[in-house]
Amino acid sequence: MRAFVKMGQLVDSHYRKDGKKRWTLLEKLFLGLTPQQYIMQALLNPVNWVLAVIFAVGLPMIAGRFYFGLNWVTHSSNDYPWGLFLGFGLFGMVPLSSSGFQLGTACEVFGRHDLEPIERVGLLNGLLGYFFAVVYLLVDLGQPWRLPYPMAVAFGPAAVLFLVAWHVATYLSVQVAEVSTSFFEWIGWPVGKQGVRKITLGLTVAGIILSTLHQGALGALFTYAPGKVHPLWYSSSFQWLHFFVSSLPGGLCMVIAVSTIARTTMEWRCDERFRSTLDKLTITLAKGATMGLATYLTIKLIGIAHDNEWSYLATGWGAWFLLEMGVGVILPLALFSWAIPRNNPAIVRLGAFITVFGIVLNRLNTAMICFNWKLPHREIPHWRELIICITVFAIYVVVYRFILYRLPILYAWKEEPVGETVAEPVKGVPVPAYGEPLSPLPSYRELGEEPIQVSSYVITELGSDESGRRGL
Amino acid sequence: MSGITRRRFLCATVIGGAITTLGSMCGKGGKAWASGSFEGYPEGMGVLVDLTRCIGCRTCEAACNKEQNLAPPDRSFTDQSVFDTDRRTDEDHYTVVNRYATGEGPVYRKIQCNHCNEPACLTSCFVNAYTKTKEGAVVYNDKVCVGCRTCMVACPFNIPAYSYSSATNPLIKKCIFCHETRLKNGRPPACVEACPQEVLTFGHRKDLIKLGHERIRNSPGKYIDQIYGEKEVGGTGWMYLSAVPFDQVGFDTTLGNEPIISNVKDFLSTVPMVLAIWPALFSGFHLLATKGKDHGGEGDDEGHKRSEKEEPRP
């Protein structure tokens, strides 16, 4: 990909580098490459071949699930009604998607604008995580075409799942709105972007409310099964808080994980601002995750003490619980505590990947592995169930990559001054040289002698963009 | 600058308010259900199962199969080899009889939906597919079921089953107390009528509780002094008498007497509070967090611009 980016022009504004001709939508979709170049780079990427194999096997299986029914892809267990689709797909993906509301809150509510280079990754990660949790849900539901029923046909307002359904639906809309600013920039519709920006704070606060409630509600779903979830994973009073609090480090660490992968595999797409600030921001996010993990560990212990479940720790289940907490919570906590003061982003990243694993393991334990602990048999998922899970995840990766390649998530969209006359660069501001699209402009301080012209440029920029800042 | 802040605050309040209204609608509904404890309709019917009388003939299974038009069984209803494994209800068996080896010889137990007073399946269903009828049956509306299977997770007795084999119309399958064909016309369910040993006694729930305690009193030493289902998870329509401790014949004796929904109330009651408090709390945080920037002549948005200038983009 990198080689092809050098051949073509990187799409990071509406105009080509000569500053005259606008990119067409098709050209934007092809990343500024010719169709032949685009297909060539796709074929040369080994990841695509792996994906192709997964899709070749998995897509027919998804079709088969809808044609032959759930019993073709699962063990049709009446004792374990929720398998991998929900255990991993819904309960695992949602806590990793809490990044949207956290970064939104930090930037928009608390004014931490230093986090802006990574805010959009957080928002997109939230949106896609939720969206694909719903995709997993659609695969799992017996009659997915009835999914809108709790909204329109029949209401069960006492049910926790009723809240989950409403909150996920509302929050998905909020997240679409939050991420849409990037889309409006890319497609070139400033009116839409301004419209969304005006309600940004409202959207963000709505995001906090909806996230608090339904991250918690996913936990509260298990309070319907007090005798089935193992006591170490169950707490009548605190289940929703355990789920909510653990989602906080989960979401932050997922952003660290995704940004790490993005910077390694699509460096060409990251702009200088993202690349130069990423290490610092990784440390900042890890600080938040550390507080989250420490709090989570504390309230897990309080949960055990509250219900006096210490004796279970001496059993086999207890050993498994201690392993989960040790590897998934205490180990990353130790790694973060060691690496943050030493400013070591590599170890922080390792800790983030382990945290993501730990949170997913916790959800799998609650929903499947330690569910029905009194029953003699454990449910081992059907192999087709596993393959469908992997396939849906692969679709998630493809969509994620498709968006990161195009929308201004990892880079800042270069807003052009409107009109032909202002398209000419102001004297004193160098045009990015052909072939060096990512080089940042020197700051006005460096330009020194002609700061007035620079600020006039800034004002022109602000003209189409009320507050003139990136992000929402 | 402060004008913008105020406008934003207003936006936040309006949007938050809209969501609060929506949420309190849900919250109110939830509260109405969650508050108090429902002890069953006064005229609710039930069945008292006396395990000391059951001989494991499986006639009840056969009667249920016929009454509910279920698929023909793999092994005939007279086949005693089914007792070698512990069975549960499934889409073709709304009731099953299991055998338990105890110190006092084999004990047979019939399993079916217990028709709780405050059913976990009902309270966990987000499309309200379940109804507790005034006759005491817990019935299911297959027209609205989405297939999330939360009721199966919620049922403390592991009763609801799912017809996974259907691709286009999979549904929850469970005993409905023969509600449509018999109960609402005042007749006992098919299994009760078919039982040759008078294991099953059909009647008003409150009378059955009296009857059960009478039997315990009249035969000292014969029964465990407990009617399983009188109090468990808020009381059930089907109740059991046993000569051996209930946990030796497959009953879960750790369920407690609170209905399942009581475990969920903690969370349900926080919902309207979060909806009501969070908008103001976080809008307030926003004002507090950005307030400092008003000092020194640089407002909220000035702060944005400053960060722009530090990292200018073309």
Evaluate whether residue B186 is within a structural domain. yes
Provide the pLDDT confidence category of residue A109 given band limits of 50, 70 and 90. confident
Confidence grade of residue A431 (pLDDT, cut at 50, 70, 90): very low
A381: in domain: yes
Task: Write down the pLDDT at residue B313.
Answer: 38
Residue A430 has pLDDT above 50, yes or no: no
Q: Please provide residue B135's backbone torsions phi and psi, each rounded to the nearest 5 degrees.
A: -80, -10
State the Cα angle at A410 between A264 and A93, rounded to 5°. Answer: 80
Residues in A closer than 8 angstroms to B152, CB to CB, are 78, 81
Q: Which residues pair with A91 in a beta bridge?
A: none
> CB-based contact (8 Å) between B283 and chain A?
yes
Q: What is the pLDDT of residues B136-146, one digit of tens each?
A: 999 999 999 99
Is A415 domain-assigned?
no
Q: Does some domain include residue B311?
A: no
For residues B209 and B125, membership in a common domain is answered with yes
pLDDT recorded at residue A451: 40
pLDDT digits (tens, 9 = 90+) for A21-43: 788 888 888 888 888 888 888 89
Residues B159 and B94 in one domain: yes
**Residue B269 and residue B225 share a domain:** no
Separation between Cα atoms, residue B142 and residue A79, nearest integer Å? 20
Domain end residue (candidates: A376, A406, A436): A406
- Does a structural domain hold residue B54? yes
Do B16 and B121 have their domain in common?
no
Query: Contact at 8 Å (CB) between B158 and B233?
Result: no
pLDDT value, residue A38? 86
Q: Residue ranges of the alpha helices (H) in A111-199?
A: 116-140, 149-152, 160-187, 190-198
- How far is Cα of residue A383 from the mean position of the Cα atoms in its chain? 27
Does residue A115 contact residue A281 with C-beta atoms inside 8 Å? yes
Residues of B in contact with A206 (CB under 8 A): 15-16, 19
Looking at the structure, tell me whether residues B158 and B27 fall in a common domain. no
Same domain, A450 and A338: no
Q: Is A443 found in the same domain as A380?
A: no
Q: Domain check: are A376 and A461 in the same one?
A: no
Q: pLDDT per residue over A340-361, tens digit each? A: 999 999 999 999 999 999 999 9
B156, B268: one domain: no
b/e per residue A105-141 (b: at least 16 CB within 10 A): bbbbbebebbbbbbbbbbbbbbbbbbbbbbbbbebbb
Same domain? For A449 and A320 the reply is: no
CATH of the domain at B135: 3.30.70.20
Residue B307 lies in a domain: no
| pLDDT per residue as tens digits for the range A273-295 | 999 999 999 999 999 999 999 99
User: Interface pTM (ipTM) of the complex?
Assistant: 0.81
Chain A positions in Cβ-Cβ contact with residue B274 (cut-off 8 Å): 209, 212-213
Residue B42 to residue B39: CA distance in whole angstroms: 8
Confidence of residue A321 (pLDDT cuts 50, 70, 90): very high
B153 in a structural domain: yes
Please report whether residue A65 resides in a domain: no
- Does A277 share its domain with A318? yes
Q: Could you tell me the pLDDT band of residue B311, with boundaries at 50, 70 and 90?
A: very low
Q: Is residue A225 part of a domain?
A: yes
**Would you say residue A471 lies in a domain?**
yes
Whether B249 and B275 map to the same domain: the answer is no
My answer on whether A433 and A302 are in the same domain is no
The domain of A468 spans 425-472
Is B233:B255 a contact under the CB 8 Å cutoff? Answer: yes
Whether residues B69 and B155 share a domain: the answer is yes
Query: B210 and B162: one domain?
Result: yes
What is residue B8's predicted lDDT score, i.e. its pLDDT? Answer: 55
Report the pLDDT value the prediction gives residue B304, as an integer from 0 to 100: 42
The arithmetic mean of pLDDT across residues B3-15, rounded, is: 52
CB A117 within 8 A of CB A440: no
Chain-chain contact of B268 with A412 (C-beta, under 8 angstroms):
no
Q: Is residue A397 predicted with pLDDT exceeding 70? A: yes
User: Could you tell me if B92 and B29 lie in one domain?
Assistant: no
Q: Same domain, yes or no, for A329 and A439? A: no
The residue ranges of DSSP E strands in A194-322, in sequence order, are none
Sign of CA dihedral B62, B64, B70, B74: negative
Q: Please report, for residues A245, A290, A326, the alpha-carbon distance to residue A297 in angstroms, rounded to integers and kept in the order given.
A: 10, 10, 10
Q: What is the pLDDT of residues A180-205, one digit of tens each?
A: 999 998 888 888 888 898 888 888 88
Q: Is residue A14 part of a domain?
A: no
- At residue A148, does pLDDT exceed 70? yes
Domain shared by A255 and A365, yes or no: yes
DSSP assignment letter at B6: H
* Burial of residue B221, with CB atoms counted within 10 A of its CB: 0-12 exposed, 13-18 middle, 19 or more buried: exposed
Question: What is the three-class DSSP state of A206?
Answer: helix
- Does B162 map to a domain? yes
Q: Based on the domain organization, do A268 and A367 belong to the same domain?
A: yes
Residue A272 and residue A150 share a domain:
yes
Statement to judge: residues A304 and A429 lie in one domain: no
Total domain count, chain A: 2
In chain B, what is the straight-line distance between the N-terminal and C-terminal CA atoms, in Å?
25
| A250 and A123 fall within a common domain | yes
Q: What is the DSSP secondary structure assignment for residue A229, as one 8-state letter?
A: B
Task: Tell me the shortest Cα–Cα distance from A348 to chain B, in angstroms.
Answer: 26
Domain ends where: A352, A371, A406? A406
User: Can you give the residue range of the structural domain that contains B278?
Assistant: 2-35+264-289
Report which of residues A227 and A135 the model is more confident about: A135
Does position B39 have pLDDT exceeding 90, yes or no? no
Yes or no, beta carbons of A109 and B309 under 8 Å apart: no
B270–A contact, CB cutoff 8 A: yes
* A-chain residues near B123 (CB < 8 A): 158-159, 224
* Position B34 pLDDT exceeds 50: no
The total domain count for chain B is 2
Is A110 in Cβ contact with B289 (below 8 Å)? yes
Q: Convert the pLDDT of each residue in B251-308 to its tens digit.
A: 999 999 999 999 898 888 888 899 899 888 888 888 888 876 643 333 344 334 334 3
Q: Are B105 and B254 members of one domain?
A: yes
Q: Least CB-CB distance to A156: which of B126, B161, B256?
A: B126
pLDDT > 70? residue A229:
yes
Residue A22 within any structural domain of the chain? no
Residue B312 resides in a domain: no
Q: Are residues B148 and B113 in the same domain?
A: yes
What DSSP character marks residue B111? E
